[in-house]
Amino acid sequence: MAAIVATVFGSLAALVHLYIFVLESVRWTRPRTRQIFGIADQAAADTIRPMAFNQGFYNLFLAIGAAVGLALLWIGAPGTVADVAGRTLALFTLASMVAASLVLLTGGTRYLRPALLQGAAPLIGFVFLLFA
């Protein structure tokens, strides 16, 4: 049961980070995306676009790591290389997501909501995966 809960929340975390990738690397200069990130105008978005593009790919890599780790976990029988590698990769990736959300909080309380959005699902997935 714990593995199922971990997989659900780990997958949700991967989807959130995939969505963040799309926002930061694909849709960065669109008005709605600028509003989500609090970017004042198109000029400001254009100025920081290379940074956002790069940051988006970090989120994509985290999403891929979580997805591959969870897939390996389910493919391998308990104790096999696939199981151990999948569990290790998923735990590392989920922990990285939680750590990134804590770093986001260092920007102040106005980042509480985005940090919770970014960090709650991977934290729940991580805890349940520890007990799976």
Q: Quick check: 94 and 129 in contact, CB under 8 A?
A: yes
Q: Confidence class of residue 127 from pLDDT cuts 50, 70 and 90?
A: very high
Q: What is the pTM assigned to this prediction?
A: 0.93
Q: Confidence class of residue 26 from pLDDT cuts 50, 70 and 90?
A: very high
Specify whether the backbone of 108 is left (phi greater than 0), alpha (psi in -120 to 50) or beta: left
The predicted structure's pLDDT at residue 116:
97
Q: Confidence class of residue 98 from pLDDT cuts 50, 70 and 90?
A: very high
* Model confidence pLDDT, tens digit, residues 62-81: 999 999 999 999 998 999 99
Residue spans per domain, the chain:
2-24+56-131
Rg (CA), the chain: 16
The predicted structure's pLDDT at residue 92:
98
* Model confidence pLDDT, tens digit, residues 32-67: 999 999 999 999 999 999 999 999 999 999 999 999
According to DSSP, residue 114 is labeled: H
Q: Which two tokens stand for residue 33?
A: 């995306």
